[in-house]
Structures are given as C-alpha cells and as structure tokens.
Structure 1
Amino acid sequence: MYSHMSTIITVEGMTCGHCEQTVEEALQGVSNVTDVTAHREAEQARVNRDADVMVLVQAVEGAGYTAHA
C-alpha cells in the first residue's frame, strides 16, 4: 500500500499546451492518481497519487516523453 502524496516528475520534451495535456492524460490513466498538473516551462508534472513512482514514469515515457522521478 502506498501513502497518498504529491510527487514531482521531471518531463523532458513538452513544448506546447497539447504536450501538457498529453502528459496529464497519460498520468491520469494510472490507477490511484487523484490530480495531475503538467508545466512545460518547468519541465515538470505534479502528481497527487497513491501509486508507484516508476509506474508514473513509465506512463509518461509511454506517451513519448522522457521522464525522471
């Protein structure tokens, strides 16, 4: 069981609002994610979650971006 927390994922390759939306949708598709906000300028996504961080990284990478926890 994971405790509910906020995590920052570094996301490389977001260049526009559509990129932010794509990353947010990828992360929202992960079980136990409660809120996501992606910021292309900061190259980050903030995720409120009860999920494994590596699953979040894999979701972002599956959407075509480079991600680091």
Structure 2
Amino acid sequence: MTEKITVLKKQVEAGKFQEVFDYLDLYFEENPYNQYSTIKMNILHQINMEFVPNPMQVQGLQIFLNSSKIK
C-alpha cells in the first residue's frame, strides 16, 4: 500500500487529481462531512471553473494521503 500512496502523492504533485480521486473513491463513500469528500469537492470545483486548484486544498489532499486513514 505504501508504494501506491507514493504513486498517488506524485500524481497530486503532477496535478493528476482525477486519477487520485478514482482510486480513493474505491475506499471512501461520498460524504460532505468527510475530510476527503470536502477536499475533492473543492478541487474539482476549482478545476471545473478553469482555475488552478487552491494550494491549500492540494496540501490538504497530500496531508490526507499521509494520514493513517488510508493505510
């Protein structure tokens, strides 16, 4: 699993968020009170509005990937 987390972190750094979300969606249900769902919603909204994702949201996703919630 740590290898997959490393790959996911590199994808976040490269801005390939959809691939990260596709993987994490397998483990986390959509829930507006969930940290992952909130981060995902905000990043996707910014991308859909054709803005660069907020660095704080990207950092939040990286922190989430470092947490024990997905290990």
Task: Give the TM-score taking structure 2 as reference length.
Answer: 0.33
* More contact order relative to length (CA 8 Å, sep ≥ 6): 1
Larger % of strand: which?
A: 1
Rg comparison, structure with higher value: 2
Larger % of helix: which?
A: 2
